[in-house]
Structure 1
Amino acid sequence: MHFSNDELGEIAERIIKLYRQLQNTRQEQDRLKRQLTQNVAHELKTPVASIQGYLETILNNPKIEETTKEQFLKRCYAQSERLSSLLRDISLLNRLDDAPVQKSRECVDIVSLVAEIQKEVSLQLEEHDMLMVVSLPEDLMVEGNRSLLYSVFRNLVDNSIAYAGVGTTIEISAELASQTDGPSLWYFTFSDNGQGVEPHHLSRLFERFYRVDKGRSRKMGGTGLGLAIVKNAILEHGGTINVRNNPEGGLRFDFTLPVA
């Protein structure tokens, strides 16, 4: 397409470029929506198919042994729990996408929040022979939504427990950094000394449903949305997050959250 060599032609050329950029953006959004829909359908299909298979076996075999029936029902319950977790995570991400959820901001005591999580996962840590070392300032208060902040730390801990490996250590630390051109921030470091991931996976770890090892991730019961929730919740608080491999092994997440 040719434009006249004057001011009107320049304006027309800019309009056409903007229109094409808008079209490309819409096409990319449509592609991402289709991809997300396909991923959701795929993730829902597995637990639903398992539940249906176990129940059909029970219904079609009236004389099935009680021990076998109980085992199948327990598996159904486990799959229903996974399904519930998946639906909760999808719902939370949708709320983060569609509208601000931080209507109830408050001063959140991160030290007590992390201690609460540590207590909740103590049995899992023991089963994996893992340590959780917390080095946080006593006055560590963050302004934000407690539920979302809980999701940040809980998902990071769950991720390490699932993938760092037996006998590893999780470390959480933070320091205060004052800024001259904005509010003060807490700088957090969350790391483990596990196996880490291949470098080409790092840039995609926060993508929804992205898995480094798909078979192992599903076996561990993960929804594939944990790190996506972490990133979106931190962005919702005005913070930033990045991930890298530790030189000595394991993953390291560096992120910021606003001081209360």
Structure 2
Amino acid sequence: MPFVTDIKSRSNPKVLWACGLSEKKKRDSEGLFRFEGIKLFLEAMREKLDIVAVFASEKAMETYASELCYFDGEIYKVADAVYEKLTEENAPQGVLTIAKKPLPVCGCTGLTMILDGVADPGNVGTVIRCADAFGAERVLLGGGCADAFGQKTVRAAMGSLFRVPTERAPLPEKIKELRAEGYKVYAAMLDKTSVRADEIEKGGKLAFVVGNEGHGISSEVRNRCDGSVIIPMRENGAESLNAAVAASVFMWEHKRI
């Protein structure tokens, strides 16, 4: 059973602390992140995330009593007006969870997705969700990418962030490391030497780099890759795909064989 503490003031230190975690700098310094909704709370419980605290509105404490009772940590029961200060959602369910960030994993040997400059949190979250669906072992985020632990990204990932390791790294150096470990790294871009996604040998240590839709992959990152890859599309159709869609096609193609 949880230990419940009542909070009535919007200026309570715990409330201010939770609000502060909306900022990436604060999340990074404390190694914590926040997310809202009863479904994500239950997903976090199932995946055994290290949950530090839960804030629940008075209404949510009644509505989700049977779900919240399984949490054996501290729940801050806050007045509905206080939860309005905490929330980042337009239609909040009244449950805010604070958890420790999962640590990056070592020793990966399978499919890796790499994002370069993908700034939209919805796209980053969707890639993480698809990595979970198609069995990619991790998602690497380079410069200019949205924070994997920002609330919009977490929401778009739909709980997959709790299962798929992510890591932010300088991509030129990281790709050099991957190639030294035996990875074949392909940049998603069109040039004279590009191969089709369905022509790449499947299995083993393979990584795809996807850039943002407007600027593509930086030249510094491209130059570190083994080659380039394209998704074949019909003539006179769309010239490009959304970054999350393109990444999903690469992962599906890898899983298909």
For normalisation by structure 1, the TM-score amounts to 0.27
Q: Greater CA radius of gyration, 1 or 2?
A: 1
For normalisation by structure 2, the TM-score amounts to 0.27
Tell me which protein shows more strand as a share of its residues. 2
Tell me which protein shows more helix as a share of its residues. 1
